[in-house]
Amino acid sequence: MTLKMAMRILVVMVLVGMAGLARGAETKMLFDFEDGKLAGFDGGKLTTENVPGGKYGLKVEKGFVVREGKQDWSGYDLLKIDVMNPTGEAVMLLVEVRDAQTKDYWTRVNYNSVVPPGKSTVTMPTDMYVGEKSRPGRALVKEKVTFLALGPEKYPLVFGNFRLEKNDTAAVVFAGLKAFDFGPAEQQVMPGYTGVNTAKYDKARGFGWDPRGYERGFDGMQPDSLFGDFVITADDAAFRVDLPNGKYHVLMNIDCPGGYWGEVQHFTHRQVSVNGKLVVDEKMTLEQFKTKYFRNAHVEDLPGVDTFSQYVEKMFDVKQFDVDVTDGKAVFEMKGDGFWPIAISAMVIYPAEKSEAGKKFWEWTTQQRREQFENYFKQVIPQAKGAKAAEVGYRVFSRNFMTPPGAMDGPLAGEWMRMEGLSVTLAQGEEGAVCFSVQPGEDIGEIDVIDSAMSSEETDPGTPRPKVTAGWLDYRISRVTMEGTVYEVKPRYWHPGPAPAAKGAGGGVTRTFWLRVKAPEKTRAETYRHTVIVMPAKGKATVIPLKVKVLPFAIDGITDVAAGPWGHSIGLPWEDGAVGGGKGKWDEEMLAKSLGVIREAGCTTVTGLPHIGVKASGGKVVLDFSRADREMALLRKYGFTQMINSYGGGLGYAMYGTETGADEGFAKKAGFADAESFLKALYGGIEEHAKANNWLPIAWNLCDEPIGKDILPSAKNAALHQKVADELGLKYSVFTGATSMEGNDAKNPHYGLVRALGMPSLNDHDEASIGLIHQDNHKFSFYNDGNRWTFGRYMKALVVHYGLAYRTTWHFNIAAGDPYYALDCREDDYCWYNTDEHQTMVPSLSFLSQIQPGLNDYRYLTTLQRLAKENGDAAAMKIFEKQVALIAGKDRQSPEPEAFEKDRKEVVDAILSVLGRK
């Protein structure tokens, strides 16, 4: 089956399924253009070609198409827009909705969707929040919609039949049914359900918390309106429902999909009783938690994956049980230990004799959940690139390691495997990459890759030789839009050993093999030759020559800047309790492993350390350095010498400040006259201990991208900390904070904050804002946007010309929530390393193809800089100066992959020239 055929079938299935769900639903047509008019839309034109339905359609050929004017969407559940996409590939679509309260970007709805090739329907819930999915605000005022805009990424698209629909709940609800959707007060309630939040029991209403129960409502914003929001109960909660006497069947979900920032539910023991009868009694050990937490570590996603079945449904273990009601009520008592042990999102109760109707309602509920998920999270099926697969056997080809092929790709022009095979050039001590891909034309089964023993042109078995570790890249769900509402399947993590057989939406899946080649520091400068053997389980083996050229020099380590990831380890979201234990051992082992791979890659810093115990009372501060000393010793052991950042590791008080500035309340409660005297006692004590125990310097983080009204108090808090630093003459502490600023305009809201911080860390920056920092004799730090360019040549330019002192980016391990499912929270796609239940260190493609080679680029430039200076080589220094002749901010954008190879060759040639070896 071809990709286009698969796409047509997928679209037909979606349309047929949606048509089936829509039968009997009440519809309100907003705009259909059948009168031959544009219905008030600006930016498009009327057309009769490629119309998705009816005679006329609205064609968009550039920009946005906009409809201003009052619209009442109240009483309806869905907005549906038919669309025809003749481009032959999936097109991103931004939908913008405003209401009478909209004033700016964050008070309007910004909704991302994707339009597959051919005819389809964009479906959106009318219960929407303004802002973005990843940063939602208030609910849209549905009865006062004033503006609707559609912005395609590519053109043309043709739209038609803008309509509102109600979900047809009448066909599935029945007498005796009780269906509750739990969540915060502003939750989106699933159709057919009654919303429950803080409500205490009320006889007239017939349900509620009795009298204890509601602790906190939470909206995880995924995967659907029923299971995505929930109520976190008190430690000993009770929920009462009035019912006629009789026997009832109950379905109840007390599992949550995770919090907005990836908070993971866990417990050691939880119970649910109904009218005194125990119906749920679950215990969990650390080992059981690890099995659940890493359940998807060894699963691979392929294009067309049924994400709802593979991930969403497996998040939840819905409880089902029968209860007897003898006194007119069912009282559900819930208790547990751990983190959010009871997170109740749904409860369905119906008479036992109506089991068939009850099952039908639950099946309808599940279908509604699936439809909501698939309307909100749109998967883009990749368009195949390159040559089609052969009918038999397989093809081997090679593409630049920075842009490996997708699952449906074949070789592009110039990528066919040549007779001379593959090659890589390495400095002594450097790790490089050799990549090739296998495109099957038929089922060839599991694919193993074996590398032969090394040989060299000048045989000398007594010297170290380059080491090759063969592995493959898996495919994982990855976000196209930041919040994940549009996603695709892309290469993600590296695994050693054979690659499994697989088939995707378009047939056989292209497998990419990544050979990690490292030359030990004392490897002889020679050309080493060996062979790579591709061995499919079915079919013939293929032998590929591999040439490894080792250069006659080692690249210098990084000593002039603190550079590395946010984060420092891979923890477990688990609290040791009465059952199990062992988290402390896990954390210690993972910290050591993590620092090892971070340092081996060339990084010089981490964040989130050290952990200092702080007790403040009676005007005195008592500090516990026991854990921090162990952490500092471990950092020294692995060779870290640069400043580290405290981000994520607090000191007990509100380091980010309060609504009025510094945390005066904490200081006075601790017996200090004011915040200043407390800060002097705190950081003075840290300074004394750090000096006496040879600590690394610490950048204490005081803010994280404050905006609006939060900027001024953040600046006041930073100014007080800096005053303390200046008066104490701190050498081991500097105060930093994450923000952005371009230019040096004093009217910029961030102006005061940037000037107050001793080392402001800027995402957006330019020459003027960096100059403002230097004006106060403060240090410049740069964060985020982690790629080969910003960890290589651009970072070197910032150090040389702008005095960059610190550089970090997201994130060593930000695989929050389910660590192998990218749609359940934020920023999984920035992860450098992941792990599994066995503590395997699993590097990501982002780390291998961007961060590590970028750090090596930096080291090559540092080596050239040193050699040119030591040897007074003007020609070599000219090459170096050319490489770092970049302007802050203006030259931040990464070039194409080919440019990196050109840069590397120029630097290597210059180094060899200085050494007299060219």
Q: What is the pLDDT of residues 684-723, one digit of tens each?
A: 999 999 999 999 999 999 999 999 999 999 999 999 999 9
Tens-place pLDDT, residues 292-329: 999 999 999 999 999 999 999 999 999 999 999 999 99
Strand partners, 542: 534
3-state secondary structure of 64: coil
Euclidean distance between CA atoms 817 and 576, whole angstroms: 19
Q: What DSSP line would sit under 415-468, residue for residue? A: -BPPTT-EEEEEEET-EEEEEEEEEESS----EEEEEPPPEESS--TTS---EE
Euclidean distance between CA atoms 610 and 707, whole angstroms: 28
3-state secondary structure of 663: coil
Q: What contacts 691, CB < 8 A, 6 or more positions away?
A: 731, 732
**Contact indicator for 93, 112 with CB cutoff of 8 Å:** yes
Residue keyed to tokens 């550089």? 807
pTM: 0.91
Euclidean distance between CA atoms 106 and 530, whole angstroms: 58
At 6 the pLDDT is 37
* Residues constituting the chain: 918
Strands 246-253, 346-351: pairing kind: antiparallel
Quick check: bond before 895 cis, omega within 30? Answer: no
Dump strand ranges (E) for 177-314. Answer: 178-182, 194-196, 207-209, 214-219, 229-233, 236-242, 246-253, 266-274, 277-283
Backbone angles phi, psi at 81, to 5 degrees: -135, 120
3-state secondary structure of 191: coil
Q: List Cα–Cα distances, 623 to 18, 616, 665, 729, in angstroms.
A: 62, 9, 20, 20
Q: What contacts 847, CB < 8 A, 6 or more positions away?
A: 601, 832, 833
Closest to 160 measured CA to CA, from 80, 90, 228, 257: 80
Instruction: For the beta carbon of residue 408, count every other beta carbon within 10 angstroms.
Output: 27
The stretches in the chain having pLDDT less than 70 are 1-25, 453-462, 504-506, 576-581, 826-827, 918
**791: which DSSP letter?**
T
Closest to 860 measured CA to CA, from 838, 886, 879, 834: 879
Q: Is the dihedral of CA 674, 711, 132, 312 positive or negative?
A: negative
Two tokens, residue 241: 């429902």
At 234 the pLDDT is 84
Euclidean distance between CA atoms 159 and 65, whole angstroms: 10
Two tokens, residue 707: 């905006």
At 22 the pLDDT is 38
Q: What DSSP line would sit under 828-872, residue for residue? A: GGG-SEE--TT---EEBHHIIIIIHHHHHHHHHHHHHHHHHHHTT
Classify residue 38 by burial, with Cβ atoms within 10 Å: 0-12, 13-18, 19+. Answer: middle
Closest to 661 measured CA to CA, from 718, 728, 596: 718
At 199 the pLDDT is 86
At 826 the pLDDT is 64
Backbone angles phi, psi at 7, to 5 degrees: -65, -40
At 260 the pLDDT is 79
**54: which DSSP letter?**
S
Euclidean distance between CA atoms 392 and 408, whole angstroms: 16
3-state secondary structure of 55: coil
Instruction: For the beta carbon of residue 381, count every other beta carbon within 10 angstroms.
Output: 23
Largest CA distance in the chain: 96
3-state secondary structure of 84: strand
Dump strand ranges (E) for 497-589. Answer: 503-504, 507-508, 511-518, 527-536, 542-554, 562-565
At 1 the pLDDT is 34
At 16 the pLDDT is 33
